[in-house]
Amino acid sequence: MNRQAIDQVTGRSWTTRRDQKNSRLEKIKCFMKGRVLPTDRIVNALESILAPGDQVVLEGNNQKQATFLSRALAMADPNKVNRLHMIMSSISRPEHLDLFEKGIARKVDFAYSGPQSLRISQMLEDGQIEIGSIHTYLELYARMFVDLIPNVALVAADKADAEGNLYTGPNTEETPTIVEATAFRNGIVIVQVNEMVDRLPRVDIPASWVDIVVQADEPYQLEALFTRDPRLITETQILMAMIAIRGVYERHEVQSLNHGVGFNTAAIELLLPTYGEKLGLRGKICKHWALNPHPTMIPAIESGWVESIHCFGGEVGMEAYTAARPDVFFTGSDGSLRSNRAYSQMAGQYGVDLFIGSTLQMDAVGNSSTVTSGRLTGFGGAPNMGHDPRGRRHATPAWLNMISEEGTIVRGKKLVVQMAETFQKGDQPTFVESLDAVEVGLDANMPIAPVMIYGDDVTHVVTEEGVAYLYKARDLEERKLAIAAVAGVSSLGRYHDLSLNDQLRSDGLVAFPEDLGIRRTDAKRSLLAAKSVEDLVEWSGGLYKPPAKFRSW
């Protein structure tokens, strides 16, 4: 019996997804002009296209939000659209959670929920929302090609032409990944655009991947998430930055890296042209970056420290600057930045020597999490970049410097640095006996505790007290002692036996500022290459155009 005969006997169709897609699109054909949907028909279209239980991707990472589409979805009739399974990088806007209160959506898989972390925690407790998993960015993208394949994708772009070709501009971010996962498994791709034009600056996504284009009633939301005002950098953060540069970057010859967002890492960026230059480190460290276009990177770029930066996303106000520095940034023929969150996460995982970030809590063995009691924040990309990718095979001096065993077959390790003050705002200790995440996981019936970065991946811990070289620890007990030695007067640090510090220093497990040739009194704001946003604008030659809320002049 041939294949066709078998299919006839079994009655199996191999085009069910395609047939369903065509059937749904047929329902809105009367509204459409080619691929273009009138703005005022978006709610009608969503109510016609979406089916109960659909897996729906709503674009919204921690910067770029498909705001018009998220508002439209929240306006849908729950009697027509319900029990959706939302797939979202970031739960950032009120209407994202309104979907669940109204019954439009029931389940969510996400990576980050910073602005809505308190509300989602309460809704989870009240049984209004079901969480599939809290993912890393790459993990969520990967599952879109495996078992979280979207039926419908709601994404945002800057411009479209009449045929449906898209221009995403500096903030391409995760749009291509979402669209590809949907389009090539016969899902429906709906794109909000800021404007329709006759000719695009460049084509970032071809029309054949797109089903519906709708011009939004206002531009999509874009947050200046990676801008840090140098005026707010403290002397403690400057001291920690000096410790990181001297005790980690210089010691291990770190040339390729990713910085988490925060004032600690902003201080490092602003010390490179001053403190780093004084140490003679230009050309030896910090040359290649996987990083958003942080405004605090401008002095290091202008001083010749930086050779390349690949960006996860853009940053408000940095558009003209990145366009004017094509030797450093990845830009298109139109001159604007081409960011890509999935590619940059991959670069941050496999292509760099070091990840340095911060956390809200760390336990005695180095496990850390931003999920705390009453706050379900999520992780974003930190776990992707904050771990040792065991598939790596290329060697660099920094990677090789992590080899701690002997033998004919050995391997290096990525530097994973956790940089945190011993106490957070409100006198909340960073170092704790047990992570809140353990209890949160139990209360939410999660199969595992929502740990952000596991302790066995962490190679260094930097605090205002010094640096712990965890990769040198021979066992769990030494790891605990090294962390306690830099934990300050937190509960872990208070009970640490100070008489052990000399041996820890001798064994190379801990270094305090004086061991690194750093005087605490030298940690002054005068070391910063820029002391205000105004200084950053001056460094950029006027190319950086900061949002109004950062202007103090």
CA distances from 331 to 15, 203, 262, 443 (A): 39, 13, 25, 46
221-267 residue pLDDT tens: 998 989 999 999 999 999 999 999 999 999 999 999 999 889 999 99
- Write down the pTM of the prediction: 0.94
Compute CA distances 277 → 305, 538, 540, whole Å: 9, 20, 19
Half-sphere exposure of 530 (CA within 13 A, CB side): 25
Residue 325 confidence (pLDDT)? 98
Regarding whether 301 and 199 lie in a shared domain, the answer is no
- Domain assignment present for residue 155? The answer is yes
Q: What is the CATH number of the domain that holds 412?
A: 3.40.1080
- Please check whether residue 529 lies inside any domain of the structure: yes
Tokens of 502: 């000399």
User: What phi and psi, each to the nearest 5 degrees, are found at residue 341?
Assistant: -65, -40
Helices (H), 86-134: 94-101, 117-125
Q: Is residue 544 part of a domain?
A: no
Q: What is d(CA 294, CA 314) in angstroms, rounded to the nearest whole number?
A: 9
Rounded Cα–Cα distance for residues 291 and 261 (Å): 9
Asked if the structure places residue 542 within a domain, the reply is no
Kindly state whether residues 211 and 263 are assigned to the same domain: no
Structural domain range at position 243: 235-537
Q: Does 19 score more than 70 pLDDT?
A: yes
- Is the pLDDT at 6 greater than 70? The verdict is no
Tell me: do 192 and 325 sit in the same domain.
no
CATH number of the CATH domain containing 125: 3.40.1080.10
Residue 10 is assigned to a structural domain of this protein? no
Domain identity same for 215 and 239: no
Whether residues 270 and 403 share a domain: the answer is: yes
End-to-end CA distance of the chain: 81
Residue 545, domain member (yes or no): no
Say yes or no: 208 and 306 in one domain: no
What pLDDT, on a 0 to 100 scale, did the predictor assign at position 114? Answer: 77
Please state the rounded mean pLDDT for residues 56-79: 95
> 239 and 181, same structural domain?
no
Is residue 344 within a helix (H) or strand (E), and if so which, with residue range?
helix 341-346
The verdict on 276 and 395 lying in the same domain is yes
Q: Which of 221, 249, 284 is the last residue of a domain?
A: 221
93-122: average pLDDT: 93
Structure tokens at 21: 């897609």
DSSP 248: I
Residue 175 sits in the same domain as residue 293: no
58 has which bridge partners? Answer: 154
Report the SS3 class of residue 158: strand
State the DSSP H helix or E strand holding residue 166, giving kind and residue range, or none if neither.
strand 166-167
Q: Is the pLDDT of residue 4 over 70?
A: no
In a domain, 551, yes or no: no
| Cβ 244 vs Cβ 520: under 8 Å | no
User: pLDDT digits over 292-341, tens only?
Assistant: 999 999 999 999 999 999 999 999 999 999 999 999 999 998 899 999 99
Task: Give the count of domains, the chain.
Answer: 2
221, 255, 275 - which closes a domain: 221
261-275 mean pLDDT: 97
Same domain, 71 and 211: yes
User: How much is the average pLDDT of 140-153?
Assistant: 98
Q: What is the pLDDT of residue 376?
A: 77
**For residues 117 and 107, which has the higher predicted lDDT (pLDDT)?**
107
342's enclosing H/E stretch is: helix 341-346
Is position 381 within any domain? yes
Task: Name which of 137, 140, 131, 132 is nearest 383 in CA terms.
Answer: 137
Name the β-bridge partners of 356. 259, 417
- 235's enclosing H/E stretch is helix 235-244
Q: Are residues 207 and 107 in the same domain?
A: yes
Q: Do 115 and 245 share a domain, yes or no? A: no
pLDDT at 380: 82
Task: Report the pLDDT value the prediction gives residue 500, as an integer from 0 to 100.
Answer: 97
- 470, two tokens: 């965890």
